[in-house]
Amino acid sequence: MKLIRFGALEQEKPGVIVNDTWYDVSNVVSDYNEAFFANNGLEKLEEALKTQTFPEVDPSTRLGSCVARPSKIVCIGLNFKDHAAETGAAIPKEPIIFFKSTTALCGPNDDVVIPKNSEKTDWEVELAFVIGKKATYVDEANALDYVAGYCLHNDYSERAFQLERNGQWAKGKGCDTFAPLGPFLATKDEIADVNNLNMWLKVNGHQYQNGTTANFIFNIPFVVHYLSQFMTLLPGDVISTGTPAGVGLGIKPNPVYVQPGDVIELGIEGLGSSKQVAKAYAG
């Protein structure tokens, strides 16, 4: 299945895409949130789709984040060798973990707002996955049983806030609109090999990122296992798995950063594409 949330900001309804047609399933699902995933929502929805008819949705309707606000957004830093190299960082021996604020979450095609006093807003195309059931001290061999599905994420980063202002990376990662998610959440059966997906990102039509999940340093089962040693992952939690080379920070000799009016487009094979237009913070 492909799960979507559609409608005006903070009024989104749950839907699905079947054979490129959008359907409203809000009469059987309240939202794609922790309760939905924890209570076998995917299985129940799949059965409902076999036996019931649902109203169609105009595909020009705004899309929200493909999941409702989760308990946490956990990200893995420097998880591609080529990205570590372009930033001058050593290959991590263990996953680097940071959090994005849940208020960063937004729709896949919403505007990205350049924060107040920002001079180094950057892009990062990433594959994210959503936790399907409570995960604590998970064995790597069983880790994929805890994954509900996969989606596209742009892990926007303000590099000066992240790297030059001391403290944790979260300062440069959690700004409002810095986590556009979607267009849809693809359940695991939709993706034949999550470790071999092409991923790309363009700014104003120029392609900066062109990578593949085959270059993960730490793959998804290990990430689930690893994170679950330090925290309980709850149903609906979003985990983002890192970005390939081609971020603005890594461009030599002069880094390139997002400017008002820039159009950022990105996609991952099997997970659709998204587009954000950059806007200056207006207060």
Q: How many whole angstroms separate alpha carbon 240 and alpha carbon 70?
A: 13
The pLDDT, as a whole number, for residue 85 is 83
Sign of the dihedral defined by the CA atoms of residues 23, 24, 27, 33, in that order? positive
DSSP for residue 141: G
pLDDT (average), residues 210-216: 96
The pLDDT confidence band at residue 111, using thresholds 50, 70 and 90, is: very high
Q: How many whole angstroms separate alpha carbon 10 and alpha carbon 236?
A: 17
The pLDDT, as a whole number, for residue 82 is 83
pLDDT (average), residues 205-222: 97
pLDDT (average), residues 196-215: 97
Structural domains in the chain, sorted by start: 2-57 (no CATH), 73-280 (3.90.850.10)
pLDDT (average), residues 2-20: 98
Model confidence at 232: pLDDT above 90: yes
The pLDDT, as a whole number, for residue 40 is 97
Model confidence at 165: pLDDT above 90: yes
The pLDDT, as a whole number, for residue 95 is 97
**What mean pLDDT, rounded, does the chain reach?**
97
| Three-class DSSP category at 9 | coil
pLDDT (average), residues 99-119: 98
Q: Contact, 132 vs 235, CB < 8 A? A: yes
What strands lie across the sheet with 206-212, from one edge to the other? 112-114, 273-280, 263-268, 198-203, 206-212
Model confidence at 87: pLDDT above 90: no
pLDDT (average), residues 108-125: 98
Percent of the chain residues past pLDDT 90, beyond the cut: 94
Chain segment 166-184, per-residue pLDDT in tens: 988 999 999 999 999 999 9
Percent of the chain residues past pLDDT 70, beyond the cut: 100
pLDDT (average), residues 119-139: 98
Model confidence at 84: pLDDT above 90: no
Record the pTM.
0.97
